[in-house]
Amino acid sequence: MESKGKKILIADDEPDILEIIQYNLTKEGYEVITAKDGDEAIGKAKIVRPDLIILDIMMPKKNGVEVCEMLRSQPSFKETLILFLTALSDEGSHVRGLETGADDYVTKPISPKVLISRVNALFRRVNKEPEDKVLKIENLSIDPAKFEVMVEGKDVTLAKKEFELLYLLASRPGRVFLRNEILNQVWGNEVIVGDRTIDVHIRKIRQKLGLDCITTVKGVGYKFNL
């Protein structure tokens, strides 16, 4: 069970939201600590060393993005899971949050069921697999050692970059990858490519697999869901 022994720090300046989230996560079996502003969040994070930190982007003293940046700058919080809560509808806030090192974000008004689902999904990703591990997701199999993709037991031929892009997204199901992040990890500095390059590769992957497994997060990036 993902919740066993896991500590979650929630920082939000709205008491009602803190109470709702704390109640539902505690009911799920998590140990929950709360903070009402950015400074308190940083202080408590250093004391309790939570496994996951949930930050409201708009908070007094220090906003969620500032808190995330400060924590990520410290070695002890490099791998700590961070999830943002945001009532902001503009895509820029989501992008900036992910760029500072957040693992995911949930928009307000918050659905407790959706939040718990996302929290559980984040914890399932904690156990990192070796980079050469064969990924098996439902009827899809991706073998990086053999450079082989199979759907329902049938071989699917992908170009090198298509394979690398698919493996990157599938290695972290549900996790939103920023466009710049994809460009850096798949193409690196070996060649200058544009945003349309990703779009074309995503389209080809979908066509070749015959699966609707890659979701476009408008203005942000892509995530794998099957």
> pLDDT tens, 21-70?
999 999 999 999 999 999 999 999 999 999 999 999 889 899 888 999 89
Residue 129 has pLDDT above 70, yes or no: no
Is the pLDDT higher at 185 or at 130? 185
- Judging by DSSP bridges, how do beta strands 52-56 and 7-11 pair with one another? parallel
pLDDT at 207: 93
Is residue 195 within 8 Å of residue 143, measured between CB atoms? Answer: no
User: Rounded to an integer, what distance in angstroms lies between the CA atom of residue 25 and that of residue 32?
Assistant: 7
pTM of the model as a whole: 0.62
Confidence of residue 151 (pLDDT cuts 50, 70, 90): very high
Residue 5 has pLDDT above 60, yes or no: yes
pLDDT at 188: 65
pLDDT at 172: 87
With a CB cutoff of 8 Å and minimum separation 6, the contacts of 173 are 121, 125, 137, 223, 224, 225, 226
Is residue 138 within 8 Å of residue 183, measured between CB atoms? Answer: no
End-to-end CA, the chain: 22
Residue 3 has pLDDT above 70, yes or no: no
Residue 108 in 3-state DSSP? coil
pLDDT at 4: 63
Among 51, 57, 108, 45, CA closest to 79 = 51
Look up tokens 């809560």; give the residue. 85
Segment 159-177 mean pLDDT: 89
Segment 133-140 mean pLDDT: 88
In sequence order, what E strands does the chain have? 7-11, 31-35, 52-56, 81-86, 104-107, 135-137, 140-143, 148-151, 154-156, 177-178, 214-217, 221-224
- For 71-93, how does the pLDDT look when each residue is reduced to its tens digit (9 = 90+)? 988 888 887 889 988 876 655 66
Residue 185 has pLDDT above 50, yes or no: yes
Confidence of residue 190 (pLDDT cuts 50, 70, 90): very low
Segment 191-200 mean pLDDT: 70
